[in-house]
Amino acid sequence: MCHTVYAVHYMTPGTDNHELFENLRLELRRGSLILAVLAALRKEHYGYTLRKTLGDLGVAIDEGTLYPLLRRLESQGLLLSEWREEDKRNKRFYRLSSDGKVILKRLLAEWQSINSSLDGIV
Amino acid sequence: MNLLDRYLNAVAKGLPEAQREDIIRELSEDIRSEMEDKEAELRRPLTEAEQQAILKRRGNPAFLAARFRQDHRSVAFGPQLIGPVLFPFYIKVLSFNLGLTFIIIGTIFFTLCISGQNITLHAIFSSVFLQLLIQLSAVTLIFSLIQRHLNKYPDSWNLGGMGDGVHVDLKFASDMKLAKRTDRQVSRFESVSIIVASAVALVWLAEVRRHPFLIFGPAAYFLQLAPIWARMYGPIVFLTSLGIVRAVINLFRPRWTRLRTLVSLVLEAASLAILCFLLKAGSWVTVVESAGSHSAGIAAPLNLSTRASSTVC
């Protein structure tokens, strides 16, 4: 009983522990987002459709996170981008580069290995 | 300029110049796509309130712009005082202020040197150090207060009002309908700014009487304020205090605008009257009695130039 009361207090928004949880959650999410973005970009997307696709699949990502991430991945050579007209508007389309494909394959293998290890631990 | 353009302009102000255009094009496309999706869903054009709601969900433009910057420096003495969102603006303001101050100090020392005054290295260093300390403390304090406000009310901004920027408001305007009403109320941000600036001005006014060095720098060895300032000191302090009282009332009652306009008119009329007295007095600066005869020639052109610049203003 005492433990339950403590747990409720522990996670109340606005407390320091809530902030700590949020920071850890963001840290946990950060790596997964990179994986999700790389995997989604096996098919070509522009920013908005990529955000929608990820959101529909349960990986919500705001534009303040997505666009800087896309730029970073592109500068690391994992993505290719080009401005192209679609529906009478210029859009920037992203897709995985050949280096990106190799890295994604390795990252997925790593993620699966971590996942199965974690399954054993928790 | 529509709401989207105003929002993008506000984001652009905080972006790195080299990537600004590219990022804004991409963000613009993203927001337009979302708006079109919403219009397709509703089968009608979006109202202004609906457009505002979409932009509001995207968050404070200053925070959004900061996410695109590589520079994540901040100022911290123990707890963080100025975060990465405000840091570039802090550096810009500080550099501008310090640059201007050092140009003024340099000009004063140069004038002193060519007028034959004995300038010691100690005098140069002490005045440079004092100005550095004053500017650093004042600018850091102001930005720390803004940062505190941003931390406390990250969603407290709106796209209402005039101009092409986004107005940061101390009130939490989660309901975007509030944005339109802000035209008839004074933002708490403005009130706090007036209180802080006026309080600093009052302290400075009090200190300048005792330490002319604060206004003349090293020239205080042979220059002093003319007697007209002693006569005007009381009215200037009174008007500054009245400005603080007005801002304090607005801080707690932002909708107190009708009487505020009247008080503002009184303040402006009184300020004009003071300026007239000062202009009529002619001489704003005099030479200290103990100063040598070679200093007498400096006060006259100084009075002439300040009078001329005040008349032009």
CA distance A91 to chain B (A): 7
* β-bridge mates for residue B6, sequence order: none
Among B139, B154, B169, where does a domain finish?
Answer: B154
From residue B102, alpha-carbon distances to A8, A93, B109, B223 in Å are: 57, 49, 10, 20
Q: CA–CA separation, B88 vs B13, rounded Å?
A: 11
Residue with tokens 């190799």: A102
* Residue B60, domain member (yes or no): no
Q: CA–CA separation, B302 vs B273, rounded Å?
A: 22
* Residue B29, domain member (yes or no): no
Two structure tokens written together for A22:
């949020």
Confirm or reject CATH 3.90.1640.10 for domain A2-121, answering yes or no: no
Residue type present at position B118: N
Task: Print burial letters for A47-64: b (CB count within 10 Å at least 16), e (below 16).
Answer: bbbbbeebeeeebebebb
Residues A67, B23: contact at Cβ < 8 Å? yes
* Residue B165, domain member (yes or no): no
Q: Where are the domains of chain A?
A: 2-121
Cα radius of gyration (chain A): 18
The answer for B 1-30 residues in CB contact with A (under 8 A) is 19, 23, 25-27, 29-30
> Which among B25, B34, B67 is the nearest to A48, CB-wise?
B34
Reference A79, options A65, A90, A68, A88; nearest CA is A68
Domain count for chain B:
2
Residues B164, B6: contact at Cβ < 8 Å? yes
CA distance A105 to chain B (A): 28
Contact B25 A46 (CB under 8 A): no
Write down the ipTM of this complex.
0.77
Those residues with Cβ within 8 angstroms of residue B74's Cβ, 6 or more apart along the chain or in another chain = B80, B81, B82, B83, B84, B87
Residue with tokens 């203003």: B313
Reference B26, options B64, B56, B59; nearest CA is B64
* Residue B78, domain member (yes or no): yes
> Is A51 in the B-facing interface, judged by CB distances under 8 Å?
yes
Q: CA–CA separation, A42 vs B138, rounded Å?
A: 52
> Which among A46, A64, A90 is the nearest to B59, CB-wise?
A64
Two structure tokens written together for B128:
């440079």
Q: Where are the alpha helices (DSSP H) in chain A?
A: 2-10, 16-40, 47-56, 63-75, 98-121
Cα radius of gyration (chain B): 25
Q: Which of B11, B25, B29, B35 is the mutation pick for testing A, counting most A CBs within 10 A?
A: B29
The whole domain housing B209 covers: 185-313
Q: Which of A16, A48, A49, A79 is the mutation pick for testing B, counting most B CBs within 10 A?
A: A48
Q: Please report the number of interchain residue pairs, chain A to chain B, with beta-carbon separation below 8 angstroms.
A: 40
* Residue B226, domain member (yes or no): yes
Q: What pLDDT, on the 0 to 100 scale, is given for residue B180?
A: 41
* Residue B262, domain member (yes or no): yes
Q: Which of A71, A76, A81, A88 is the mutation pick for testing B, counting most B CBs within 10 A?
A: A71
Residue with tokens 């494909």: A101
Are B192 and B141 found together in one domain?
Answer: no
Q: CA–CA separation, B233 vs B201, rounded Å?
A: 12
Q: What pLDDT, on the 0 to 100 scale, is given for residue A1?
A: 38
Two structure tokens written together for B46:
């979006």
Contact A47 B59 (CB under 8 A): no
Residues A80, A89: contact at Cβ < 8 Å? no
Which chain A residues touch B19 with a CB distance below 8 Å?
Answer: 71
Among B154, B171, B202, where does a domain finish?
Answer: B154
Which chain B residues touch A65 with a CB distance below 8 Å?
Answer: 67
Q: What pLDDT, on the 0 to 100 scale, is given for residue A2?
A: 41
pLDDT in tens, B159-178: 654 344 444 443 333 333 33
From residue B95, alpha-carbon distances to A103, B14, B100, B103, B143 in Å are: 44, 17, 8, 12, 14
CA distance B173 to chain A (A): 20
pLDDT along chain A (122 residues), means of 10: 42 68 88 94 95 93 92 96 90 96 96 93 90
* Residue B35, domain member (yes or no): no
CA distance B307 to chain A (A): 52
Q: What pLDDT, on the 0 to 100 scale, is given for residue B164?
A: 44
Secondary structure element (H or E) that encloses residue B80, with its range: strand B80-82
Identify the DSSP state of B217: G
- The distance from CA B181 to its chain's CA centroid, rounded to whole angstroms, is 24
Q: CA–CA separation, A24 vs A118, rounded Å?
A: 17
| Residue ranges in chain B whose pLDDT is less than 70 | 1, 156, 158-184, 217-218, 290-313
Q: What are phi and psi of B2, to 5 degrees?
A: -80, 175
Contact A92 B25 (CB under 8 A): yes
Residues B213, B194: contact at Cβ < 8 Å? no
Identify the DSSP state of B69: -
Q: How far apart are the first and last CA of chain A?
A: 24
Contact A47 B29 (CB under 8 A): yes
Q: CA–CA separation, B306 vs B284, rounded Å?
A: 8
Residues A9, A18: contact at Cβ < 8 Å? no
